[in-house]
Amino acid sequence: MHFDLHGRQDADAPTIILSSGLGGSASYWAPQLVALSNDYRVVTYDHRGCGRTGGEVPDDGGIAAMADDVLEITEELGLTRFDFMGHALGGLIGLDIALRKPGIIGKLVLINAWSKADPHSGRCFDVRIELLEKSGVTAFVKAQPLFLYPAVWMSENAERLEAEERHAIEHFQGRANVLRRIAALRAFDIDLRLQDVEVETLVIATRDDLLVPYTRSIRLAEGLPNSQLQLVDFGGHAINVTAPDAFNTSVLHFLQPA
């Protein structure tokens, strides 16, 4: 597993691990690094088969295998307790760890995540699979921003998106890995076990998320026994990228000790 350390490096520094979504890249969290680095040791990592981490997700491993990858990093760093922030798929990883390793996560932040995939999200996954299988990598990558960002933001950041597209095509994680990761997303279902996730949790959702209906986050907040919901109107699926200042302020406020 390839991971990077940012921010404080002293022995007493609290640690937060950031886990991205389907793209699996550590670079996804660039808009959060400065804000978090003053107070935290920040761990970002490339998911299995993504970016600088080799291999592929095991065919039958699912989200649990991806969570095991995170625990491998925590063992390398000697961590016995840490905060965790996950976007979509990354949020599912956090939920899996919280269920299997009670007490290891101090505070949990879930961004446009879910306890069980919504049928609408399944339709979106079907479209992306069709593009990959029948039209190829370029079409798959070109469609990605449509599921991540609001139209106005895409219009205002056209050059940035073109650069991201070129990079994503050059560093594509591979057909098999994408399909296995999507299958893991679809198979994940802890809807009847939410009451067992006792960690203090901030659930962040956007009403204009095209990929994941915000009602999935409402369900998380209602089912998790120690949670709070922040529901915002604008930001799309990747709100930490499209509205980083407001997002960072909310997360820092939540993470601060009581």
Sorted by where each begins, the domain ranges of the chain are 3-255
Q: What is the pLDDT of residue 139?
A: 97
166-211: per-residue pLDDT in tens?
A: 999 999 999 999 999 999 999 999 999 999 999 999 999 999 999 9
Residue listed under structure tokens 């798959």: 140
Number of helices (H), then strands (E), in the chain:
11, 7
Q: What is the pLDDT of residue 144?
A: 96
Position 12 scores a pLDDT of 87
Q: Tell me the backbone φ, ψ of residue 97, rounded to 5 degrees.
A: -65, -45
Cα–Cα distance, 87 to 63 (Å, whole number): 13
If residue 221 lies in a helix (H) or strand (E), which one and from where to where? helix 215-223
166's tokens:
């070129």
Is 99 within 8 Å of 76 (Cβ atoms)?
A: no
pLDDT at 60: 85
16: helix, strand or coil: strand
Those residues of the chain that have pLDDT short of 70 are none
Question: Count of CB atoms within 10 A of residue 226's CB?
Answer: 11
Given this model, what pLDDT does residue 59 score?
86
At 165 the three-state DSSP class reads helix
Task: Give pLDDT, residue 183.
Answer: 96
Domain 3-255 in CATH 3.40.50.1820? The answer is yes
Q: Using CA atoms in the order 133, 135, 136, 141, what is the torsion angle rounded to 10 degrees?
A: -110
